[in-house]
Amino acid sequence: MTSLKTLAIGAALTVFSLPAWAETDITFWHSFGGGNGKALEQIISDFEKKRPDIKVTAQEIGDYNDIVTKLQAAIPAKRYPDVVLLEITRYGLFAEKGILENLTPYLDKDPLKEQLYNFALDVGKYKGSNYVIPFNSSTPVTYYNKALLRAAGLPDTVPLKNFNDLLGAAKTVQEKLGAQGKFGITPMGQFARWGIVMSNDSDLIDPVSNDVIVDSPKTVAAYEWMADLVRKYKVASVDGITDEDAAKAQFTAGNVAINLDSTGVFGGFKKALGDDLGVAPFPCEAVCRVPIGGAGIGIVSMIDAEKKKAAYDFISYMASPEANAIWFAATGYLPINKKTLDVKVAADAANKDEGITVSIKQIDYARGRPRPPVVTWMRKMEYGVWESVALGQKQVPDALKELAAQTRAQTTN
C-alpha cells in the first residue's frame, strides 16, 4: 500500500518539475499574408515540433509601416508583442529608444553567427550592436513579361542593363501596345526608387555620416528620370503612383512589360505569369549598386528574462538553414545563411528556375541602407514627395530640397 509520505514526495516532485515542462507563449508580429504567410506558417510549425515547450502566436499586423505605427502605440499601452518583424531601415528608431533588446550577447554565443552571410549580420546592426536577426532579406531586380516584349517585336533577351535600356524597351512597348491598354513600365515603388538613386551613385542619407543628401544633384537626377517615365514619356501609368500594390497587380495581370521590384515577390509573380516571367539584374547606371531590403526580427526589451530566452531561440531558428531554405524556395527572398542552398528544397528551387537566383548574383554590390531614427519619418514623407513630382505638381529640385530641409530639422529636434 502506498504511504501518505510517498504520495507527498511524488506530489512535491511533480510540482517541482512543472516549470521544465511549462509552455512559453511567444507573440510574434509580422507582415506576411498569402503565399508568404503559408510559408511562414510552415516554418513556425516546424519550430514548434522541435521545441514543444515554446508556442508561437503569430499575428499578421499589416505592412511594414503599419507595424511601426502600431508598435509605437503599443509601447505606452503595454500591449506590445514579445517578438516583432521590423523593416531593415526602421528598427533603429526602436533600438535608439531601448525598446529592442541588444542581441549581440545572444548572437556571440550562437553558432548561427558564423553561418550568416556578412551582409545579413551587417544589416542587423545599429551603432555596432545587433538588434534584429535578418529574416526576409531582398534586393530589387528587374522583372519583365516576355510575352509583352514579344508582342511589341522585342526579343525575350532584350538588354535591360541601364536606364536607357529600360526607357527604350518601355517606349517600344508603349508605341506598339499602348492602344490595347498596355504600359511599358510600372511607376517605381519606394524600394526601387532607392535603388535607382543608388545606381546613380547617390543616396537619400549618407550611409557613413548619416548626412541628409536627398537634395544632392545625383539624387535629383535619379528622381527626374523616374518622374519622367510618367509625366514626360508616359510609359508608366499614373494609377500606380499612389498605390504600389495596384502597380504590382497591373504587372501580374499582364498589362505592364517591366517592373522593378523586390526579390521577395518572385514567388507571387512566378505564380501569376509562369514561364512568361523574366528576371534580370537591377540596372547599373553610374555604378552597380543595389539596396538591401526586407526585415529582421527583434525582441521587445520589456519582456521577462524567461521569455527573452525562448524568443531568441525562436528568431535564431528563423535564420537557420532549414527555415531559410523553405522561405527562399517559397518566396525568392535572399538566402541569408551560408548553408541554405545545401538544403534540398532550396537547391531544387535554385536549379528549377534561374530567375530566383538573380538576386544572389547581385550580393557583391548590394549595400545596407542608413538606419538612424529619422529614416522612419523621412520614408513616410517621401511617398507624398514622390506623388507630387511624378504627377507634375512640383518640380523635382524644389520638392527634394524641401524634403531635405524638413529631414535635417527633424534630426536637430
User: What is the spatial distance between Cα 179 and Cα 58, in angstroms, rounded to a whole number?
Assistant: 46
Higher pLDDT, 364 or 28: 28
What's the pLDDT tens digit per position in 323-337? 999 999 999 999 999
Q: Which amino acid is at 131?
A: Y
Give the residue among 321, 359, 320 at the shortest CA–CA distance from 340. 321
Residue-level pLDDT at 412: 75
pLDDT reading at 166 higher than 90: yes
CB contact at 8 A, 391 and 366: no
Same structural domain for residues 273 and 320? no
Q: Name the H helices within 256-373.
A: 266-273, 305-318, 321-331, 344-352, 358-361
Query: Which CATH number does the domain housing residue 360 bear?
Result: 3.40.190.10
User: What is the spatial distance between Cα 267 and Cα 330, in angstroms, rounded to a whole number?
Assistant: 6
Same structural domain for residues 73 and 95? yes
Do the domain assignments include residue 133?
yes
User: What is the spatial distance between Cα 33 and Cα 40, in angstroms, rounded to a whole number?
Assistant: 9
User: What is the spatial distance between Cα 224 and Cα 397, in angstroms, rounded to a whole number?
Assistant: 9
pLDDT reading at 293 higher than 70: yes
Report the pLDDT averaged over residues 242-266. Answer: 96
The proportion of the chain whose per-residue pLDDT surpasses 70, expressed as a percent, equals: 94
pLDDT reading at 17 higher than 60: no
What's the pLDDT tens digit per position in 38-80? 999 999 999 999 999 999 999 999 999 999 999 999 999 999 9
Same structural domain for residues 377 and 271? yes
Reduced to 3 states (helix: H, G, I; strand: E, B; else coil), residue 98 is coil
Same structural domain for residues 285 and 300? no
Q: What is the pTM of this model?
A: 0.88
Do the domain assignments include residue 1?
no
Do the domain assignments include residue 15?
no
pLDDT reading at 8 higher than 90: no
For residue 400, the surrounding DSSP H or E stretch is helix 396-412
Reduced to 3 states (helix: H, G, I; strand: E, B; else coil), residue 28 is strand
Do the domain assignments include residue 12?
no
Same structural domain for residues 253 and 354? no
Q: pLDDT band for 18, please (50, 70, 90 cuts).
A: very low
Higher pLDDT, 224 or 14: 224
Same structural domain for residues 102 and 53? yes
What's the total number of domains in the chain?
Answer: 2
Do the domain assignments include residue 17?
no
pLDDT reading at 347 higher than 50: yes
Q: pLDDT band for 411, please (50, 70, 90 cuts).
A: confident
Same structural domain for residues 180 and 286? yes
CB contact at 8 A, 314 and 46: no
Q: pLDDT band for 222, please (50, 70, 90 cuts).
A: very high
Q: Please give the DSSP secondary-structure letter assigned to residue 158.
A: -
Do the domain assignments include residue 338?
yes
Report the pLDDT averaged over residues 133-154. Answer: 97
The proportion of the chain whose per-residue pLDDT surpasses 90, expressed as a percent, equals: 90
Same structural domain for residues 235 and 144? yes
Q: Which residues contact 187 (CB under 8 A, 6 or more apart)?
A: 226, 229, 230, 236, 237, 238, 240, 241, 247, 390
pLDDT reading at 12 higher than 70: no
Q: Which domain holds residue 91?
A: 23-138+294-364
User: What is the spatial distance between Cα 116 and Cα 184, in angstroms, rounded to a whole number?
Assistant: 38
Q: pLDDT band for 22, please (50, 70, 90 cuts).
A: low
Same structural domain for residues 149 and 132? no
Could you say which of 346, 364, 382 is where a domain stops? 364
Do the domain assignments include residue 111?
yes
Same structural domain for residues 250 and 330? no
> Of 8-12, 223-227, 240-244, 370-374, which range is least confident?
8-12
Do the domain assignments include residue 14?
no
Same structural domain for residues 154 and 192? yes
Mean predicted lDDT score pLDDT of the chain: 93
pLDDT reading at 183 higher than 50: yes
Same structural domain for residues 162 and 301? no
Compute CA 310 distance to the chain's CA centroid, rounded to the nearest angstrom: 25
